[in-house]
Structure formats: structure tokens, C-alpha cells
Amino acid sequence: MEEKKPLRHLIEIRDLTVAEIDSLIALAGDIIARPDDFADTCKRKKLATLFYEPSTRTRLSFEAAMLELGGQILGFASQDSSSASKGESVADTIRVVEGYADIIAMRHPKEGAPVLAAQYASVPMINAGDGGHNHPTQTLTDLTTIQREFGTLEGLTIGLCGDLKFGRTVHSLIAAMVRYPGTHFVLISPQELRPPVYILDSLARETNCKCTESRSLDAVIDSLDVLYMTRVQRERFFNEADYVRLKDSFILDTDKMRGAKQDMIVMHPLPRVNEISVAVDKDYRSRYFEQAKYGKYIRMALILELLGLRQ
């Protein structure tokens, strides 16, 4: 009798080893090269997308990923269109949905909601973003982009710019990249939007990597291999006045790009508001739309991995 594989979830990026991340990126590369080979790998499998918060890229890329693997999708796109609006708990929702789907991707505005969901789920659970906390599948997308651009994830200088406090993609990207030797993080943010203490602690513990902070993008842009811009997360502020004061802290425009290396790339998890001027889209170093495309392929790889369907 075949031994049943242990149930695996992806709640935070540290749930995957470096070798597993590298292997997923390689599998995404195989899917990009030979999509037809994977067309029916998830036949008769269903993905539930439970999105308590709005999303364009993450939800649609998850759904496109499952459809391209030959599977089916179900779910909801907002809290208002689910029983959460009637007061149903996350724990109860998961115990119901796991009866309808083989794998679940959940986005929730509260931090740690996927940790709770995983305690109740008997099918693989994927964190598709929890408040300002973590966003591990965006990180897989980011790592895929960097790997395909530079051919390595080691020894790179990565500038993280904008809202580093509530920017969940930044938190997950740091947690992933600290494990690649020689990474130099340059944290560029206003004082009020520095990363949370637990992130700074994790950086201080690492001997593999280096971290510096700057309040000015101009002062450091010439040293960067990757500039990762982020939006100031309006929905995480309790006070609108604070948001208004901080929202235009860093705007990347063509003037600033003149100071960057010729082979630097600009990334952004999107959506952007105004932190990257539209004129920068035409710069040959901008990669954010390619980055969004890779999101579908790496999520295909992840679904195959968590369902134990890798060929």
C-alpha cells in the first residue's frame, strides 16, 4: 500500500527550505518552457480561493494556475459574498470548505488567520496574504523573477523601498532572502514605516547577509541590483492623516532612474498608486509586469507540489 504523504501547508515562506524554493522555481521554468506537459496534471482537482480582502493578481493568478493545470476552481472574492459577513469564524469556514476542495488559498485582513486555518484544515492551505504580515506566494513570484534575471539568488544588493512596516511582501521577501548568502538588504523607508521589530531581529541574527537603512532613495540607488518598490498600505492605517502624510515619501521617476546601475531591475508586487511614475514603465529595467506573469507559473508549481502531483 502506498504510504500517505504528510499534509503540507504554505503559511510563511520559512515553511519551504531553500532547496524546495529552488526546486519550485526550476519547476516553474519547466512549465513556462513546456506548458502542454502540465495541462492535465490537476484533472478532477479543485482549488478553493477564499479571499476576504480584494485582490486582482493573486486571486486571478491562482485561478488561472489551477485552470491551466486542468483543475477547477470555486470560492469567493470578498468577505461580503461569504458567510463571514454573517459572523462565521475562519475555523468554521475552513472545516466546511475542505469538504468541497482539494487545496485552499486564503487571503484575510487579519494577521495570523492562515495559521489558525491550518490548524483546522485537512487539505493543503496556502496563505495568499494575511493583513500586513506575510505573503509567501508573492515572495515565490519575486524570487522567480530575480532568479530568471540574474541566474542566482546569492550575493545581490536588494533595495526595499516604501512601506516596510505594513508591506507584507517585504516581510516575506526578507525572510526568504536572508537564507541566500551574500544578500545585502538596503531598507529605504520613512522612520514611521521601518520594518517590524521581529523582522529587524531576524536580520540582526543572520551572519550570511548584511543590512543597512536609508531615509533617502537617491543616496543608495546606485548601489542596488534590485529596487523593490512598495505601495504605502492605506488599508492598514487606523489614522487617515498618517497615511496622507506618508503616502508620497518615495516616488520613483525617470530622474531617479538615471542614478541607477544599467543592469539594476525595478520590481513591485503591484498594485501601484503613484510610487512608480508611469514613465518608468518604458525604462528597459522595469520588470513589474513580467513579475506578475511569473506569479501564475510559480503558483502552478506550488499547487503541484502541495498536492503531491509533481511528475
Partner 1 sequence: MKIDEIHNGYVLDHIRAGRSMEIYRALGLDSLDCTVAIIKNVPSRKLGKKDIIKIDEDIVLDLAALGYIDPNITINVIKDGLLVEKQHLKPPAVLVNVVKCKNPRCITSTEQEIDQIFRLSHSGGKDVYRCAYCEMQAGTQ
Which residue out of 4, 5, 86, 205 is catalytically annotated? 86
Which range of residues in 129-137, 181-189, 219-227, 272-280 is near partner 1 by CB under 8 A?
A: 129-137
Residue 58: active-site member: yes
Which residue out of 135, 179, 231, 287 is catalytically annotated? 135
294: nearest Cα among 143, 177, 180: 143
Residue 107: active-site member: yes
Q: At what angle do helices 57-68 and 288-306 cross, to 10 degrees?
A: 50
Which range of residues in 53-61, 195-203, 214-222, 298-306 is near partner 1 by CB under 8 A?
A: 195-203
- In angstroms, the CA 79 to CA 93 distance is 12
Q: Which is nearer to partner 1, 238 or 284 (CB)?
A: 238
Beta 72-76 vs 226-229: how paired, if at all? unpaired
- Cell numbers given for 237: 492605517
Q: Cell match 544588493: residue?
A: 157
Restricting to residues 130-149, which ones interact with partner 1 according to CB under 8 A? 130-133
- In angstroms, the CA 178 to CA 84 distance is 36
232 binds partner 1 (CB under 8 A): no
Restricting to residues 92-121, which ones interact with partner 1 according to CB under 8 A? 108-113, 115-116
- In angstroms, the CA 302 to CA 220 distance is 35
Q: Which is nearer to partner 1, 132 or 159 (CB)?
A: 132
Q: Which is nearer to partner 1, 207 or 262 (CB)?
A: 207
54 binds partner 1 (CB under 8 A): no
284 binds partner 1 (CB under 8 A): no
43 binds partner 1 (CB under 8 A): no
Residue 57: active-site member: yes
Q: Which is nearer to partner 1, 64 or 115 (CB)?
A: 115
* C-beta of residue 76 within 8 angstroms of C-beta of residue 108: no
Count of CB atoms within 10 A of residue 284's CB?
7
Report the DSSP beta bridge partners of residue 108.
130
Alpha carbon separation from 72 to 127, 166, 210, 213 (Å, rounded): 19, 33, 44, 45
- Which residues of the chain form contacts with partner 1 (CB under 8 A)? 89-91, 108-113, 115-116, 130-133, 196-198, 201, 204-205, 236, 238
Which active-site residues does the annotation give? 57-58, 86, 107, 135
